[in-house]
Chain A
């Protein structure tokens, strides 16, 4: 007899509460089952109904995202979304968070985040071709921030350790440092895969009698209740045992074996055993097919003797998949997996009775209606209230601060800020070149990966600015989409679709739910205008500790198509004598919400920077047309740090100076460091200037020639007065040296 509480004890002693179920949810389970659930069943309901698996707080909001377009082959709801890129080719991608585990065990937390997202993509039948990530940490400067440096170092090492070993290039990402993330670092990982239309696989368990196989690693006692853990308020109050350990070598073998298996044509459905392991994979696969499953717990390959059905069902051991094969073709799986030294074991069958039935031999140990696990999960329409802090932040008056006298020094200060400084320290730890398809490596606006045998390439990036969302949730949401799309355009790609990772604090706080709801509405508006539907995503809530909420931080993963490799464009200046143009609104709309205001004046205040989505669309269309026409030598999005930082970055990358002249009646700090959206810096040869200006005029987009490239210094004159004058090599030394200097 197992030492597990009886159904009566679970009810009377309210043991379900320790699983994260509240009284109301438990009562609902009892009424759905018509009896009290036993220990295994209580565990299974608790993970299926956890925020992480059921999206019970976020579902009503997520439903509002635009998800349809002719090029969308698979929208949200599967392991990853898929878009069509022509020529029978398709791209599958998704982003996912691993914030809570990374806060506790940064190396393994980040590594298993990468492992999980890779499985989501190859499950769809796609060959993973690129990884990206988006990271947030507390400040890393000074003796008090050793823990933040530890988290930063180990998260980066964990991402590197997994991605490098499995041989998928990490081609892009972003890192932002702000003390809002000091207790809750954000680790979001994205994977992009390539497949042909006929290779698409899905996570469905159909066909009565078809065998269900557990493949890959054996099941151990690690990570039990990880999904529930990720749905609680404070990761630090939880145990380390809820964090899993990754094995990228095992995953490399699993990846190759699964792709070979899918290619055999004998697979009915396949799904990663990710969060909530065997529980969610079996329930979701059955739910999609409207079928049932009967699994024999005694047949599940395990690492340890004596594991109970409860442990087997809730383990989050990594590198495992659940596969449904066509009846009689089990041997195909066994042969392929044997070649890769892996196990493929039949653990059950598909049924037509709509039940998830678990047995130990002949004894039924759990029996639940599949739809009650998936569709009947509670949905909460959380109350929403406009945050009171907005009254204060919106009161900000730029006249209350004085622009610095030495703007050269201010530019150095910004270039030295870890959020703006070179991230070479990070990305040189990632193998960005393996698979020899990376045409634009990390450090430009969007990475570009070529597609062998075609002239096409994919541009991809991750983007998000939590501070903007904090200051104006709706516009901040618009910014996230707009900037991601702008980055793809700057690299020569047409933005096609979005995957989103929505990182917020507790949805049970009305002010946080307001941030969530409003920012998602803003994202939707931008997705509609820019014609980039959401095809996949993930929600991470409860990112709060010690009364500190993270900034509301939706991270956008954007993928675009570069029609011809000749269109690939980078941000670095190319040749002396060429013109530099600023495309987009010339009014910077002030310094509100800017990195400059935060770093130089210590203020997070004002509104989010200005953004007009229709201007944004026109600017992106105009610049992409100019790039495709062959007129643009370099393109760079204006982001954190505004015009001055963007020009400095392009100059540093090209080791080439620039002499620029601006005429304006705005404040100097606004002109140089304001962060209004929809602005792109482009380099154009003199002979192409007229043609480029004609394209911009046709699209109704304003553009200004700022000056020309040449020499070894960056000089910016405003209204005839020199305000920035500095050797590019000096700027480079500050920018490149900043993070190594803080870390060593």
Chain B
């Protein structure tokens, strides 16, 4: 299974995503510069965290115009797996690949800590190695992570089981219904503010993020057999 990790000017969790794929899955992974227009060689596209273009305007607002985002849209429509983490999530909402938006944290400070999440949907391609209701510890590190969508969208997300993770017994940013991660209707695009790639070794403080990577590999292997 071949992974692409996108690199925008200002991305800074690209290396962490590469290390996580290498350490957890041992699968091939390339960093892909934002000017690349073709991603058809890849089975999974990771949009990493960081501060693309400095995020001076609005997180992800400029990165969505990068040539590579057209390629991401094309591959997502084909059903390829796409994961946006932190700034990657913000870029996916700005690009319209996922609904809603990420606003400034309600307390207006950057927040970095290991947050407990509850797995709301373990039937996605990204979460099959978790069980529904699992509480997992995953780091967060963001200033604009407060998930917002209008009532209608939230109702739809809930009805379609598109809410994948919620913050559990904590509220680090004021997200609506403590939403921490969502997927698209088709279930092949995931966006989340917490960083699973930072939780792949016990010495990092948690290894609870590994199952997200193993789930993707299994889903891909399932598709290959089908």
Q: Which residues of A contact B (CB under 8 A)?
A: 157, 160-161, 164-167, 247-250, 252-253, 340-341, 427-436, 438-439, 441, 450, 452, 565, 568
Contact = CB atoms under 8 A, between A and B. Distances in A.
Contact of B112 (A157, A248, A433, A452): A433
A340 to B, nearest CB: 7
Contacts of B134: none
Contacts of B79: none
B139 interface: yes
A429 B19 CA distance: 25
Nearest to A250: B54
A168 to B, nearest CB: 8
User: 5 closest pairs, A vs B, by CB?
Assistant: A167-B12, A249-B54, A165-B51, A436-B16, A431-B141
B109 A157 contact: yes
Contacts of A161: 110
Given A249-B10, A439-B204, A452-B19, 10 more contacts: A164-B112, A165-B12, A165-B51, A166-B12, A247-B54, A249-B51, A249-B54, A430-B110, A431-B141, A433-B198
B143 A164 contact: yes
A129 to B, nearest CB: 11
Interface of B: 9-10, 12-13, 15-16, 19-20, 49-51, 53-56, 109-113, 139, 141, 143, 195, 197-198, 200, 203-205
Contacts of A441: 205
B19 A433 contact: no
A428 B113 CA distance: 6
Contacts of A439: 203-204
B150 to A, nearest CB: 30
A165 B9 CA distance: 11
A161 B56 CA distance: 11
Contact of A436 (B10, B20, B54): B20
A450 B10 CA distance: 23
Contacts of A434: 12-13, 16, 49, 141, 198
Nearest to B108: A157
B57 to A, nearest CB: 11
A165 B54 contact: yes
B53 A249 contact: yes
A429 B16 contact: no
Contact of B111 (A429, A436, A450): A429
B19 A436 contact: yes
A479 B55 CA distance: 43
Given A431-B141, A436-B204, A439-B204, A165 B55 contact: yes
Contacts of B50: 167
A450 B203 contact: yes
Nearest to B107: A744
19 contacts: A165-B10, A167-B13, A249-B9, A249-B55, A250-B54, A252-B9, A252-B12, A340-B9, A427-B112, A428-B113, A430-B110, A431-B110, A432-B112, A433-B141, A433-B204, A433-B205, A434-B49, A439-B203, A452-B19
Contacts of B19: 436, 452
B54 A164 contact: no
A241 B48 CA distance: 37
A266 B40 CA distance: 36
B205 A435 contact: no
Contacts of A431: 110, 112, 141
A429 B113 CA distance: 9
A336 B9 CA distance: 14
A435 B111 contact: no
Contacts of B198: 433-434, 436
A245 to B, nearest CB: 12
B141 A436 contact: no
Contacts of A248: 51, 54
A160 B16 CA distance: 20
A429 B110 contact: yes
B15 A435 contact: yes
Contacts of B204: 433, 436, 438-439
A340 B35 CA distance: 12
Given A253-B9, A434-B12, A436-B204, A429 B109 contact: yes
Residue of A166, A434, A438, A450 with most chain B CB atoms under a 10 A cut-off:
A434
Nearest to A247: B54
Contacts of B12: 165-167, 252, 434
Contacts of B113: 428
Contacts of B139: 433
Contacts of A165: 10, 12, 51, 54-55
Contacts of B205: 433, 441
A237 B197 CA distance: 49
